[in-house]
Structures are given as structure tokens and as C-alpha cells.
Structure 1
Amino acid sequence: MAGRLHVDDWTRHPRSPAFRGIDPPVFSPNLAPRRWLSILRREADDIVLRDAFWGLTPTWLKVLDQAPHCARAESLDERPMFREALTERRCLVPVTGIYVWQAGLRGKQPFLVTHTDRSPLMLAGIWSRYAPDIGAPRDSFALITVPTTEVIAPMSDRLPAVIAPSRIEDWLSVETSPAAARDLIGPADRELLGAFPVSRQVNDPAHQEWACGYPVGPMRVWTA
């Protein structure tokens, strides 16, 4: 499960996709669900950057606390709100890390899961239009989660699916069928992700210092 995200400035990284900015990018060292952040989605011929509420909120949902912030890849067909979004409204959530926690004798230790070379991660998401009682409609989204690899499993049994840079166009394209989109969702390659321990301050989302995401120990990586 993804309960907290690290979003540093991914926009200038050479592996980031080209996009047109509708809203300014949102950055945070410790971003929790039920907050606003940036998503990339397709509009006509462009990939655009928009603000979105982290919690999938279709027009009929009245209680924001019931908005799911994650959707299991294996059960996307079980709920119409997920199935329809996978067919018509796929998005990417650019981040620089995902926080997970490992239980220990002194309580839970937070870790930051990142790309092993610290490049941005493009997380698979589905979006919907959020229609508040007051104000203009806005986007909302949920992350699609998959089982984790051996390195991450002791800390979390699930993580958001990562879309490879070479498959971004396929994931966002309206021409990609739901079956083809499902084929793009799966656990990350073993070599892709590592995790290092960070400050326990990250346990409280009120802490917004960038030091929250600084390593306090070595990165764990997969070795053959």
C-alpha cells in the first residue's frame, strides 16, 4: 500500500516525459493521501500536467473520506469506478520515492523506496473528475498497486505499479485497449527499486522538511 510519497523536482530530469503545464507542479517531501499533487494525463495530442486530489472521487461520491487512494491491479474489474477509469482515464503520477515501513523492536522504521539511480518513478494511476459543491470541477486519482519484489517485501507487500519510460505513451494513449493496458501493470524489475531508511519524522505528515527523505543508512538493493 502507498500511504506516503516523496515528490522532489522531477521535471528537469532527462528521463521525464515532455508535457504541457496546465497547473504548476506540486512538490513535497512527505505527501499523504487526501492531498493535492500533480498527475500527467493525455488531452488530445498533448500530455498535460494537472493538479489532482489523491483519492478517486467520481461525481456520485459524496463523502471524500470514502475516496480510495489505491486500487489493486488484480481487482480492477470488480468495481465499476476502477474498470471504467482503466478503460478511458489512465494517468501517471511522477514521484521521486514511496515511503514504506518495516516493523522492528523499537517500532516501525520508515524506508524510502526509489529508483536505484534516483531517477523519477512514473506511477500508474487512474483518474476521475471531482465535482465539488462549490467551485470548478477538478481531477482526482488513485494509484494502481501490485505485489512487491523480494527487497521490498519485508517492508510492504504492495507498491504502486511503475510504468517504464518507453511505455509511457502506450499507458496514456486512448488507443491502448484495457487488455493491453493491463499488460503494462506488474511488479517492478528487481534491479529497478532500492530502499533506504529515513528519519522517523516522516511518520507524521505534518513534517514537511526535505530532511525527512534523507538516508540514515545504506540502500537495500537486489543482488543475484
Structure 2
Amino acid sequence: MCGRYTLTISLEELMMHYHLEMELDRFHTPRYNIAPMQMVLAVIHDGRTNKMGELRWGLVPSWAKDEKLASGMINARSETLLQKPAFKTLVSRKRCIVPADGFYEWKKSGSSKQPMRIVMKDRQLFSMAALYDTWVRPDGSKVSTCTVITTTPNELMEPIHDRMPVILRPEDEQVWLDRGNQDVGLLTSLLQPYASDRMHAYAVPSLVGNVKNETAACIEEMPSLL
């Protein structure tokens, strides 16, 4: 699964990467320990251009009776997207990107777990493929939520965990976002493990295990205990 990630780059870098118009009234601070059920930055295509806004991480389908499903829908398996009622209709019409510059996973060895941060070798921004939906509460208010799509691990991730987020190749980002693209076969073909030779994993402090810890100390590189 993908249950924690980071987004420490500047707002300007985000805007440039996704060809967004600069929003002078938006304030963005580095995030070192983003967790499920929090508000996260996401990029969608509105039919004309890319837009950036906030979604709550943990999908609530539009047809859900309540919001209790959210905590169990932070991820969607790429292999079964078209079989699950919560996801199958979203693939063709409600796709988004969740920007990140690293994600965390815990490497197990016996009874021990070592938190690892996985990044690009060049430490650049990357795009996690995601789906979103909007649910209407009984009082009429709306909540827009998302889920990050996962896939099988690449060679780097395999010793760490049996799943990884789908990271889109830069040339596929706009294909995924394009609202006019409803070619489900093409879209699902993009959901592959990212090239391991472009990625790097390193051990980080155990403090990242507590979502209340949201400082640069979370991404400090340290010797692995495993």
C-alpha cells in the first residue's frame, strides 16, 4: 500500500511542472509526513486546463451511505480497478494526480520494521496516479476525496514491500489527466511499476511512524538497522 508520503518542493515548482497558472493567493508549506484522511494537493484537468486543489485522502464514492468507507479506501489496486464498484466508473471520468517527492514504506525483518523513504534519484517531483469522487452529506455539504492507485513492486521495492504507488512517466501525465480521454484500455496500460533504476530508497528515523511528527527530521537519511 501507499500510506505516507512527502511533498517538500516549492509551490513555484509545482505550478511549473503541471503547467498551471500561478495562484498568488495560495500558500504552500513543505509536507514531510502526509497521512490518510488529511487534505492533500491534487491536480485535475477541467476539460480546458490543469487545475490544482485539495482533496481528502480516503475515497468516499458518490453512492456511499456514509463516510465510514474512507479510511479503507486510501489505495486502489490497479489490477482490480475495473472490478470494484467504487473505482470502475471513475477510471474513465474522474482521474487525478497526487504530486509527491517521496513516499514511505516499512521494511520488515522478523519482528522489526525499518521506515524507508523512496525517492527519485534526482530528488525531483513525481506524479502518483489517483482517482477522485465527490460525496454529498445529508446536510447538503460536499466532500471531495481521492485514492492513490497501487501496483506490484519493482526491483527496488520488492525487498521493502509487496505494493508501490503507480508513478506515471512524465510523458504519460497529461494522458492520464486528459478529461477527454476515455480509452480505458490505454489508461489502465499506464498503471505499471516505475523503472527501479530511476529510484532510490534510504532509511529514515522511526519518528515518521507518528503522524504528529511533521518536520524535516522525518526525511533525514540514517543507517538502516536491518
Same fold by TM-score greater than 0.5? yes
Rounded Cα–Cα distance in structure 1 between residues aligned with 2:69 and 2:82: 19
Which residue in 1 is equivalent to 2:184? 178
Alignment pair present for 1:40 and 2:43: yes
Letter aligned with residue 97 of structure 1: G
Rounded Cα–Cα distance in structure 1 between residues aligned with 2:50 and 2:193: 25
Letter aligned with residue 18 of structure 1: H
Letter aligned with residue 19 of structure 1: L
Aligned partner (choices 75, 94, 107) of residue 99 of structure 2: 94
| Runs of 4+, deviation exceeding 6 Å | none
Paired residue secondary structure (1:155): coil
Q: CA deviation at 1:132?
A: 3.4
Rounded Cα–Cα distance in structure 2 between residues aligned with 1:159 and 1:2: 6
Which residue in 1 is equivalent to 2:131? 126
Paired residue secondary structure (2:156): coil
Paired residue secondary structure (1:205): coil
Gaps of 5+ in 2: none
Rounded Cα–Cα distance in structure 2 between residues aligned with 1:52 and 1:188: 24
Q: 1:90 to 1:120 in 2, by over 3 A?
A: same
Rounded Cα–Cα distance in structure 2 between residues aligned with 1:183 and 1:62: 32
Which residue in 1 is equivalent to 2:169? 164
Q: 1:135 to 1:207 in 2, by over 3 A?
A: farther
Which range moves more in the overlay, 127-136 or 188-197? 127-136
Gaps of 5+ in 1: 219-224
Letter aligned with residue 104 of structure 1: S
Aligned partner (choices 19, 38, 56) of residue 53 of structure 1: 56
Alignment pair present for 1:103 and 2:77: no
Q: CA deviation at 1:58?
A: 1.9
Rounded Cα–Cα distance in structure 2 between residues aligned with 1:116 and 1:33: 26
Alignment pair present for 1:137 and 2:136: no
Q: 1:26 to 1:180 in 2, by over 3 A?
A: farther
Letter aligned with residue 3 of structure 1: G
Q: CA contact under 8 A between 1:10 and 1:16: conserved in structure 2?
A: no
Question: Scaled by the length of structure 2, what TM-score is found?
Answer: 0.88
Which string of whole-angstrom CA distances, capped at 9 and with x for unpartnered residues, describes residues 106-139 of structure 1? 7211000111110011000011013234574242
Q: CA deviation at 1:83?
A: 0.8
Q: CA deviation at 1:17?
A: 1.5
Q: CA deviation at 1:41?
A: 0.2
Rounded Cα–Cα distance in structure 1 between residues aligned with 2:29 and 2:83: 32
Q: 1:135 to 1:217 in 2, by over 3 A?
A: farther
Paired residue secondary structure (1:12): helix
Alignment pair present for 1:147 and 2:148: no
Letter aligned with residue 32 of structure 1: A
